[in-house]
Structure 1
């Protein structure tokens, strides 16, 4: 077994560079927690731009967060020619939430990250899941089931936690207004590293800024001037 190299009270955080996971990390740091960020690389279409955002977010905290650990878990042999790999026919701004569901995504993330945590003696694994997440693999029942399965291997035990449980998107955005939120990344069809402005996730991002009443300084490739300067 790999030797434990982190203190036992360190929290592993699955970080995507998006608004939710980035602000979850910020809240943990603000609470004085020691945090070990994890990124699971699967070969998805947007990951290059996403990893750049992860780097920008980690720079917010200087020396208060452990170096990023990247875990590889390719899914091409599972997903085949799925839009998340090809970048073709990506769900647009008018598509329902169900259109962006990735088969088994949270199961794969949790198993990979959970096993890493057990190997390194980290007792807590945090996900930036809000209560509004509609997918079954974000439910409390699902998380506890995966946690139980991982712990059947015996000690050290692992607990999967949701630090954003009970927090609305609007509340989270208002709390996080102090941070340069435009540096996060939430797009599934990036264009030269920029948010495309027209996909399902860009629409969700714009809506989050608008409902929180926060200016959206995100550069969108589809905007004539490259950014929205105020909520509408």
Structure 2
């Protein structure tokens, strides 16, 4: 298949790219700059794509950032919350309609190239906080995308029933360079280790029994400390 992958440069989308290539797909990747606080992820995406020798495009949508206000990822005056994704305050990281916007742009590119599919890396751990990562959303988007052109393009979401720990194991099998991926929502020099996506990343390596190659801020607690202090990381 010929597939456009929405590529943030994070763990999930990087594993997806490697997985599709391993299956024999022709892959091109698209990153979206919507004015996110952690735009460093796009730099990481560019480096990984270059290493793989695949085409990487960036859709510059920064002009719509004011229309996506109210999220800590797009509004500088809203702090990035810390703690496990299960906490209610993690809803502050929800960017309004982000996945639909990114999928629409990726679908346009796929249609223009006569590609077969668009893919994104939503997994089973995302749906509790992010409405646009739920299986129901993906199913309806698949139906809409198939109707968007005379040449049918479909939506692939192979990880929607898997946990992030399961994805980490698959990434290890594929020799994904996890140290080159970026997750942290704070977008500093190093991963902060305590925002929702950092906590989820650390928990995934922990549960998968894999060494975590990520460089975290020196002030970040260890995973053992997080388990001890009830950060809701599974021991």
TM-score tier after normalising by the smaller chain length: 0.7 to 0.9
| Alignment gaps of 5+ in structure 1 | 1-8
Change (3 A) 1:36 1:222: same
Alignment map for 1:35-184 (pairs within 5 Å): 35-47=27-39, 49-61=40-52, 63=53, 65=54, 67-74=55-62, 75-80=64-69, 82-87=71-76, 88-94=78-84, 96=87, 97-134=90-127, 135-177=130-172, 178-184=175-181
**Cα shift at 1:162:** 1.0
What is the TM-score when the length of structure 1 is the normalising length? 0.82
Alpha-carbon distance in 1 for matches of 2:155, 2:47 = 25
The CA RMSD measured in Å over matched residues stands at 2.5
What is the TM-score when the length of structure 2 is the normalising length? 0.81
Change (3 A) 1:215 1:184: same
Deviating above 6 A after TM superposition, structure 1's stretches of 4 or more consecutive aligned residues are none
* Count of aligned positions: 216
- Tell me, yes or no, if the aligned pair for 1:11 and 1:126 is still in contact at 8 Å: yes
- Tell me, yes or no, if the aligned pair for 1:45 and 1:84 is still in contact at 8 Å: yes
SS at match of 1:214: coil
Alpha-carbon distance in 2 for matches of 1:180, 1:152 = 36
Alpha-carbon distance in 1 for matches of 2:149, 2:18 = 31
Determine whether 1:211 maps to 2:202: no
Alpha-carbon distance in 1 for matches of 2:211, 2:187 = 21
Question: 1:11 is matched with which residue: 3, 7, 13?
Answer: 3
> Could you report, residue by residue, the CA deviation over 1:8-48 in whole angstroms, capped at 9, with x for unpaired residues?
x311101111111100111111112110111111111111x
Map of 1:3 onto structure 2? none
**Cα shift at 1:81:** 5.8
Alpha-carbon distance in 1 for matches of 2:93, 2:71 = 11
**Cα shift at 1:106:** 1.0
**Cα shift at 1:151:** 4.0
Change (3 A) 1:31 1:202: same
> Could you report, residue by residue, the CA deviation over 1:173-229 in whole angstroms, capped at 9, with x for unpaired residues?
12222332121110110223x2122211111111111111111121112448xx99x
